[in-house]
């Protein structure tokens, strides 16, 4: 009989009164051991409502910080505190504050892919699943400052026919999908439905018949009767897509360098089953936030929750 780390994790969850939340970009074995798997909004919402005292967030650190901000009495763990995000790294607090101050009349609409510090100086947080609804709730005569993801912002601004002042951040994974190679792939598979995450460049998004959050893309694969899909987002989501539609052909959208595996998010992939087991055993590493910062950051996250639910 071989060693079953998943069984060990299940035992530890019971012993420690813990729940595991996982993002769709985690490896399949992590998703299978999780109690809840979803997009960033779903994970924030579950993190706010679960009963267990310990919440292990298998995803990137801003996701776990959001849970801690919304549900501060819980012990919030991550497998790896180094699991950041290029959008977080590309929006340092000081520069974001200076940008805000350049536009004192603007409403700062900030993507959840941001640090707790940046959330604390934002008016409202959005995710790709609720961004349109939230921006629509802002009076039309108010200027919108949108950051840190310029591609999500550009797509949303066009969709809502509303100008935004854009922060110039980007997801280092989604920007690598290549429009020319995607066009060529579509010629080879004219029967495929192209679906894309809005963090992709607009040159890629122009070919997609569905643009949406990870959960929206999964829903499309589940419900669309087509049998072939070209998917422009991180590879981890193929696990759930293939589970929902085992008979469907799922093709990864191409990046420029055909040989590279750069459509894997390097931060999401810092997590593994060993680290999850270790975190549950030791209750470390724990996400900690200064209480003054947490309370300030909660304002913009609470607004998102109030508008969305």
Between 100 and 174, CB nearer to ligand SF4 = 174
The piece of 43-51, 168-176, 218-226, 289-297 that touches ligand SF4 (CB under 6 A) is 168-176
Which of the residues 96 through 125 are near ligand SF4 (CB under 6 A)? 113
Q: In angstroms, what CA-CA distances link 281 with 17, 83, 162, 302?
A: 12, 20, 49, 32
Query: Does 214 engage in binding with ligand SF4 (CB under 6 A)?
Result: no
Binding-residue pattern over the window 217 to 256 for ligand SF4, x denoting contact by CB under 6 A:
-----------------x----------------------
Query: Does 39 engage in binding with ligand 13P (CB under 6 A)?
Result: yes
Which residues are registered as beta bridge partners of 209? none
Which residues are registered as beta bridge partners of 143? 106
Binding-residue pattern over the window 8 to 47 for ligand SF4, x denoting contact by CB under 6 A:
----------------------------------------
User: CB of residue 11 vs ligand 13P: minimum separation in angstroms?
Assistant: 29
Taking only Cα atoms into account, the Rg of the chain, rounded to an integer number of angstroms, comes to 19
Partner that binds at residue 298, options ligand 13P, ligand SF4, none, CB closer than 5 to 8 Å by kind: none
User: CB of residue 224 vs ligand SF4: minimum separation in angstroms?
Assistant: 23
Between 13 and 147, CB nearer to ligand SF4 = 147
Query: Does 214 engage in binding with ligand 13P (CB under 6 A)?
Result: yes
Q: In angstroms, what CA-CA distances link 155 with 112, 158, 202, 268?
A: 17, 5, 7, 24
CB 196 within 8 A of CB 203: no
Interacting residue with ligand SF4 among 30, 121, 221, 265 (CB under 6 A)? 265
User: CB of residue 199 vs ligand 13P: minimum separation in angstroms?
Assistant: 5
Interacting residue with ligand 13P among 86, 122, 150, 213 (CB under 6 A)? 213
Between 13 and 197, CB nearer to ligand 13P = 197
The piece of 165-173, 186-194, 203-211, 270-278 that touches ligand SF4 (CB under 6 A) is 165-173
Interacting residue with ligand SF4 among 32, 35, 172, 202 (CB under 6 A)? 172
Q: How far apart are CA 183 and CA 180, in angstroms?
A: 5
Partner that binds at residue 128, options ligand SF4, ligand 13P, none, CB closer than 5 to 8 Å by kind: ligand 13P
Residues that bind ligand SF4 in the complex, under the rule CB under 6 A: 60, 85-87, 113, 171-174, 199, 234, 265, 267-268
Which positions lie near ligand 13P, rule CB under 6 A? 39-40, 113, 127-128, 171, 197, 199, 213-214
């Amino acid at each position: 009989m071989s060693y079953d780390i998943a069984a060990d994790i299940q035992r530890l969850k019971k012993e420690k009164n813990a729940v595991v939340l996982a993002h769709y970009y985690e490896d399949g074995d992590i998703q299978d051991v999780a109690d809840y798997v979803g997009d960033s909004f779903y994970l924030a919402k579950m993190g706010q409502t679960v009963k267990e005292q310990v919440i292990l967030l298998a995803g990137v650190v801003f996701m776990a910080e959001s849970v801690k901000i919304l549900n501060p009495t819980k012990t919030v763990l991550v497998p790896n505190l180094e699991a950041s995000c290029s959008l977080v790294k590309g929006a340092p607090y000081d520069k974001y504050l200076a940008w805000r101050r350049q536009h004192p009349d603007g409403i700062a609409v900030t993507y959840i892919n941001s640090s707790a510090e940046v959330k604390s100086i934002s008016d409202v947080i959005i995710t790709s699943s609720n961004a349109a609804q939230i921006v629509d709730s802002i009076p039309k005569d108010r200027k919108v400052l949108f950051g840190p993801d310029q591609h999500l912002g550009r797509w949303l601004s066009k969709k809502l026919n509303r100008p935004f002042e854009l922060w110039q951040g980007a997801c280092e994974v989604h920007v690598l999908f290549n429009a020319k190679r995607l066009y060529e792939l579509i010629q080879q598979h004219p029967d495929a439905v192209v679906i894309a995450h809005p963090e992709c460049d607009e040159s890629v998004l122009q070919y997609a018949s569905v643009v949406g959050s990870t959960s929206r893309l999964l829903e499309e694969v589940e419900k669309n009767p087509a049998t072939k899909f070209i998917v422009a987002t991180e590879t981890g989501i193929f696990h759930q897509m293939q589970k929902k539609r085992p008979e469907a052909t799922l093709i990864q959208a191409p990046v420029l360098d055909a040989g590279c595996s750069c459509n894997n998010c390097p931060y999401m992939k810092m997590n593994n089953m060993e680290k999850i087991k270790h975190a549950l055993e030791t209750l470390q590493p724990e996400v900690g936030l200064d209480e003054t910062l947490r309370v300030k950051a909660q304002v913009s996250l609470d607004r998102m929750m109030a508008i969305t639910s």
